[in-house]
Structure 1
């Protein structure tokens, strides 16, 4: 059984009135070991077989994307690599006298995934939704400032850098509030957050690295 809440959007409608959208309430996050054990009950494969196969599959998908290919897994979706600039590198401008960005300035910074229609439909067939009895908070009220700081620190331990848009998605804050709070965290050395580059290309990084 799954529950949903009607969450208030950060952006009002054209008339300035609040708008709401359905949001599934997630209870927890399951890992590969959990999935492998569940599959084991309905198949002749051992959890070790399943885990090994999935890891081999992810490595091969990564290898193919590293060679410039997108990867389609029927029934699952399409994986496509996304490029970005390394922390502290400014975007290339069109003027001839400006410095060009070389391969050392560019990296894979994300993997885009587009779910297969069949995968979406299969999930929908298995899902029975009930409206949650708990009243949802505004997205910006889900976390205290201390919790938002910990989210930022955790993100920077797992990723090379963070942009203001990343912090917005993590915390639910609007862009101006998110940018202001990130500047506050970076101004306090004990938080372990530093900056690279200058606006509009400034990013936030783990000060320990």
Structure 2
């Protein structure tokens, strides 16, 4: 299946008298979560889901450990992980104390070989099916997409919900939390690990999904 693309306006404000510039961008079809990856790999190999999850946990542990010692970590042909520092720029090394320098991010540099493997066929989306503003989707349509997703997945994350509805973070959270308050969804976990699951024997109509 080909990836689809559409055109979006450049973030820079439109200049008077000049047409607004557009750039092509992949249309997000949703997020493939870890559970889906584990299931796919297990079906394609002799490894059990438990074996794959155990290996994944071991990789995460080692990949997070070595950058903390100053190493770069190569993960097959995927690319390289490295730690980055955060600190204010100075003209003289004596202007900044060691306490003000800290690990601020993790960098990932994709290898040329993996970048080529990710390159597939492209096709332009049909008119009306490209990027849409979140307010263009009714509450009932967002709920329908949510239930369709949960029919084939045990849970959904905020990121997944943003992917299938086009809602930005805060609007997506408002949607999900409203459905939790109404009893249509339950939550598992906390903070960044929170996921949303379908409440058993609960349904919603187009009328009350808009509220």
Q: TM-score, normalised by structure 1?
A: 0.56
Q: CA RMSD in A?
A: 3.4
**Structure 2 CA distance for aligned equivalents of residues 72 and 11 of structure 1:** 36
Q: Which runs of 5+ in 2 are unaligned?
A: 137-165, 175-190, 193-211
**Structure 1 CA distance for aligned equivalents of residues 31 and 168 of structure 2:** 22
User: Which residue among 122, 126, 129 is the counterpart of 1:129?
Assistant: 122
Q: Which runs of 5+ in 1 are unaligned?
A: 86-90, 151-156, 159-209
User: Which residue among 113, 121, 146 is the counterpart of 2:108?
Assistant: 113
Q: Secondary structure at the match of 1:3?
A: strand
- Is the contact made by 1:77 and 1:113 (CA closer than 8 Å) also made in structure 2? yes
Q: Secondary structure at the match of 1:83?
A: strand
**Structure 2 CA distance for aligned equivalents of residues 149 and 32 of structure 1:** 21
Q: Please report how far the alpha carbon of residue 16 of structure 1 lies from its aligned counterpart in structure 2 after TM superposition.
A: 4.6
Structure 2 equivalent of residue 60 of structure 1: 62
Q: Please report how far the alpha carbon of residue 118 of structure 1 lies from its aligned counterpart in structure 2 after TM superposition.
A: 1.3
Q: Secondary structure at the match of 2:5?
A: strand
Structure 1 residues 82 and 148 mapped into 2: Cα distance closer, same or farther (>3 Å)?
farther
- Alignment of 1:94 onto 2:91: yes
Q: Secondary structure at the match of 1:75?
A: coil
**1:1-209 pair list within 5 angstroms:** 1=1, 2-11=3-12, 16-85=18-87, 91=88, 93-94=90-91, 98=95, 100-102=96-98, 104-124=99-119, 127-133=120-126, 134-136=129-131, 147=171
**Structure 1 CA distance for aligned equivalents of residues 75 and 93 of structure 2:** 42
Q: Please report how far the alpha carbon of residue 11 of structure 1 lies from its aligned counterpart in structure 2 after TM superposition.
A: 3.0
- Is the contact made by 1:77 and 1:115 (CA closer than 8 Å) also made in structure 2? yes
1:8-64 C-alpha deviation (Å, 9 max, x unpaired):
111379995422222111121122221011001111111111111112112111111
Q: Please report how far the alpha carbon of residue 69 of structure 1 lies from its aligned counterpart in structure 2 after TM superposition.
A: 0.9
Structure 1 residues 44 and 7 mapped into 2: Cα distance closer, same or farther (>3 Å)?
same
Q: TM-score, normalised by structure 2?
A: 0.55
**Structure 1 CA distance for aligned equivalents of residues 39 and 101 of structure 2:** 39
- Is the contact made by 1:74 and 1:116 (CA closer than 8 Å) also made in structure 2? no
**Structure 2 CA distance for aligned equivalents of residues 32 and 145 of structure 1:** 21
Q: Please report how far the alpha carbon of residue 128 of structure 1 lies from its aligned counterpart in structure 2 after TM superposition.
A: 3.1
**Structure 2 CA distance for aligned equivalents of residues 8 and 35 of structure 1:** 33
